[in-house]
Amino acid sequence: MNALPTPFRPRPSPGRRPLLVVGAAVVAVVLIVGSIVLLNKRPLERIGYFADWNVANRGFTVERLRQSGAPEHLTRLMWAFGDIDPEGLCHIPEGDHDQPWELYQRRYDADESVNGEADEYEQELAGSLNQLRQLRALYPDLGASLSLGGWNWSVHFSTAARTEESREAFVSSCLDLWLRGNLPVRGDEPQGGDGAASGVFDGIDLDWEWPGGQGNASNVEHPDDPAGFTLLLAEFRRQMDELSAETGQEYILSASLPGGASQSQTYEAEIFDHVDFATVQGYDFSGPWSESTAHHSNLHVPEYDDEANSVDQAVRRYLDLGADPDRLVMGIPAFGRGWQGVPADEDGRDQTAEGPADDDYDGPTRPFDELEEMEGRRFLDEEAGSYWIYDGDEWWTYDNPDVIALKGEYVREEGLAGMMVWNLDMDADGDLVRVMDESLEGSAPTR
């Protein structure tokens, strides 16, 4: 979206079609005002992931997202996640999560609906996808991508990427389901059918965690997975371009990349020939697997720990691989990592802990809005771009508005494509998204 793929192929941001420059008169106007007009120069991305399982688990509906005010500060919503079946095809799984019901069959009452109107029983699209369609009608410049995989649903990516035939079939199934909106009809419910969800999504995001191993222990793996990932992206690009020629609609292709050094070493430089942008996970550098307290999303390596990872290092690994800066989106967390039983110290950094903090949001994590309300001693390391709170024997690290401001400045100075936040229900009032938006405009954070 910000980036121009190689070879040169302009890709305007959704809702912001490129200006058409016609004739010498326009050129003359440009010369008169003494300006240099860069066509296809796009605004920095402001991307937020929406975890669809938390509609049921936490009541964070699309309408609740609208109420937070976050959509007006975003350029794209990433919908997490789409699944891949054992045959290597896109599908909507049934079972405990019952994704079909929540996605396109649940009828919303007027007070919980984005447009304030109750769903009708017979309408062909209901559920969260209908709510997302309504949200995008309110915010026509807001793009929406379906993100495939994630930590738990990357199991069969390798199967899908294995051969030319499997890649063609997989991509075709994903475009039919998520871009053409051909939803399965289930039981006696009237929802679904060809084109029922057409236009809800205008992009596909590949979040394969991770080709080359080091992902979920359940993942199917193969030595050719890194090369298969590149070929899979190429096949997505080819079929999405064909679909674009058919419909006249632009479709955005992106990929989610790890921030860890060992995971990122398996990728091929050619992946950047096919994507409009790639997000880099600038978090989870430490966690419950770490015996000592450590920052999990610091911008730079702290001076007291020269072996630590950092967002800057993660970004530079992909730049060294061959990515253009304006093809990379920095990922930031809307959550913190915590430890307990941390010895009394000046600030609790780099201290051996008894273990991770108690389960809060999802394991030893706590959402941004709750961390901002915690009591305790607070610390900011401007050089490292890190922040933490030490409360009793608990130590928490997260990105507060000061850190987001530093990261926004980094994005602008390094010419990156923008920022992405995981995930939106951890920022239930939209405060972090607003700060992210302000940081990319160069504004100071406001509290």
Sign of CA dihedral 305, 310, 314, 319: negative
Residues 32-44: what's their mean pLDDT? 49
* Residue 97, pLDDT score: 67
pLDDT in tens, 138-161: 999 999 999 999 999 999 999 999
Least confident of 220-234, 245-259, 348-362: 348-362
Query: In this structure, are strands 335-340 and 365-367 parallel, antiparallel, or unpaired?
Result: antiparallel
Integer Cα distance of 287 and 309 in angstroms: 13
As given in the structure block, the two tokens for residue 388 are 């933490």
* Residue 267, pLDDT score: 97
Q: Are 144 and 200 in contact (CB under 8 A)?
A: yes
Burial 10-24 (b: 16+ CB within 10 A, else e): ebebbeeeeeeeeee
Q: Are 117 and 107 in contact (CB under 8 A)?
A: no
Please provide the average confidence, as pLDDT, over all residues in the chain.
Answer: 90
Give the H/E segment covering residue 239: helix 225-247
- Counting Cβ atoms within 10 Å, is residue 140 exposed (0-12), middle (13-18) or buried (19+)? exposed
* Residue 362, pLDDT score: 83
pLDDT in tens, 11-21: 333 333 333 33
Closest CA to 149 of 218, 103, 196: 218
| Residues sharing a CB contact under 8 Å with residue 102, sequence separation 6 or more, in sequence order | 52, 53, 55, 56, 127, 128
pLDDT higher than 80, residue 232: yes
Q: Which CATH superfamily is domain 45-334+400-441 in?
A: Glycosidases (3.20.20.80)
As given in the structure block, the two tokens for residue 343 are 């010895």
Q: Are 347 and 379 in contact (CB under 8 A)?
A: yes
Integer Cα distance of 386 and 399 in angstroms: 7
Three-state SS for 17-71 is CCCCCCHHHHHHHHHHHCCCCCCCCCCCEEEEEEECHHHHHCCCCHHHHHHHCHH
Q: Are 294 and 397 in contact (CB under 8 A)?
A: yes
pLDDT higher than 60, residue 39: no
pLDDT higher than 70, residue 128: yes
Integer Cα distance of 74 and 51 in angstroms: 16
pLDDT higher than 70, residue 191: yes
| Residues sharing a CB contact under 8 Å with residue 418, sequence separation 6 or more, in sequence order | 2, 44, 45, 46, 47, 75, 277, 329, 330, 411, 440
Integer Cα distance of 136 and 158 in angstroms: 33
* Residue 446, pLDDT score: 45
* Residue 136, pLDDT score: 98
Local structure of 72: helix, strand or coil: helix
pLDDT higher than 60, residue 104: yes
